[in-house]
Amino acid sequence: MSNPNSGTIAHQVSGSLLSDANTRLEKALRYVTIGEDAIERLRAPKASLTVSIPVRMDDGSLRVFQGYRVRYDDSRGPTKGGIRFHPGVTLDEVESLAFWMTFKCAVLNLPFGGAKGGVTVNPKELSKFELESLSRGYIDAIADFIGPDVDIPAPDVYTNAMIMGWMMDQYSTIRRQITPGVVTGKPITMGGSLGRETATAMGAFFSIQTLMPKLDRKPSETTVAVQGFGNAGAVLAELLYRAGYKVVAVSDSQGGVYAAQGLDIPSVRQIKDATRGIKAVYCRGSVCSQIDHEVITNGQLLELDVDILIPAALENQITAENADRIQARYIFEVANGPITSAADAILESKGIQVFPDILVNAGGVTVSYFEWVQNRSGLYWSLEEVNRRLNEKMTEETERIWVTAKELSCSMRTAAYVHALDRLGQALRTRGTREDYRS
């Protein structure tokens, strides 16, 4: 049903990211009935915090870093979302990511709302001691804003289990009690969950495996290119390789490689781990030899003629400027927001199917939920149990969104937002609506 308030959920901000995120809802709002009260509640973040974090550097100087934490919506439960350390972090970006997390948690039917955090910093320029000081200082600044029943951070771009461990330890020190449930993605020895580090990739893999038969695709006949050979992209590339897909190209921030005959992904990962560079190699033990390949840029990888393109790096990789040159048949968004709304329209006109980030990369937050549950119960699961539960979640919600897309004759992205809006609308309605207060 058409909604008279279409396109008005996200508040108007000067930055482009959140405004662009809001345009994805315009199509979805045509298919759902959501009350004015729900729209009003979702129009702006529930709370945004900007902090300054002073850090004493190794040379004795003092630097002050800018940090952010945004809780967008908690109608379905405490908010959940990662913390990224990146030089491009802005409040607009963090608000946008918190907005997306709200819908991602609803898509997977997790009892969470959406949040996100970040610090404007290039972590590669910091020593390990400086990085620890920054991580603990960030928690010092936001400790009253988070908590296991309020807002639960997790890893994101350039943060990892070690940093999450520091953050959990700092929060526990402030509260004078061990509080493992305040942060997920921690080291196993500090209450982390088995399977968390590979969760984003595993979730994407389960979603791809669910959809390929519906698209009449066999792994052995399917070529794949992965932009972003980091934690999620590299693990997913290897999962696909071992499942029989032909992974022909991978790249990181420095560039990439393309081999029409396919890459030996375990060998590429071995070299990446050893040298921090990507090379097209085949390894037997510690002996590696190069194979025929082309050196390509990230931009060139996006434009390769492949069956599946997987953007697994940062936002806004496919825009109106390059969308017309994209040749992939299917795009699975493992990064958050890698395709702009303007590019979406171009890709759709070209017949390219996009499977959205709020579904495809939701494995990370799903296993974060599992970790939070384990922390609260004190009962910890095996890796097999974690992956079994993740497979069930990803398969179930992928199937539901596929059916919704077919029933409404809309894109998978629109169907995912419809699915999320239905759940958010139900949660918000239980808090009272305009109709409840009419005399």
Rounded to a whole number of angstroms, the distance between the first and last alpha carbons of the chain is 27
Angle ∠(150,151,154) on CA atoms, nearest 5: 155
Q: Which of 27, 80, 104, 116 is catalytic?
A: 116
Pairing of strands 79-86, 151-155: parallel
Contact 147, 372 (CB under 8 A): no
Reading the block at residue 150, the tokens are 């309020």
Closest CA to 194 of 334, 392, 367, 394: 367
Reading the block at residue 58, the tokens are 């190794």
Report which secondary-structure segment, H or E, holds 407. Answer: helix 383-408
**How far is the C-alpha of 328 from the C-alpha of 306, rounded, in Å?**
5
Contact 303, 325 (CB under 8 A): yes
Q: Name the 3-class secondary structure at 389.
A: helix
184: which DSSP letter?
S
Angle ∠(410,415,421) on CA atoms, nearest 5: 135
Query: CA–CA distance from 401 to each of 77, 290, 394, 413 (Å)?
Result: 22, 42, 11, 9
Contact 196, 372 (CB under 8 A): no
Pairing of strands 255-258, 281-284: unpaired
- Asked about 116 being catalytic, the answer comes back as yes
Give catalytic residue positions.
Answer: 116
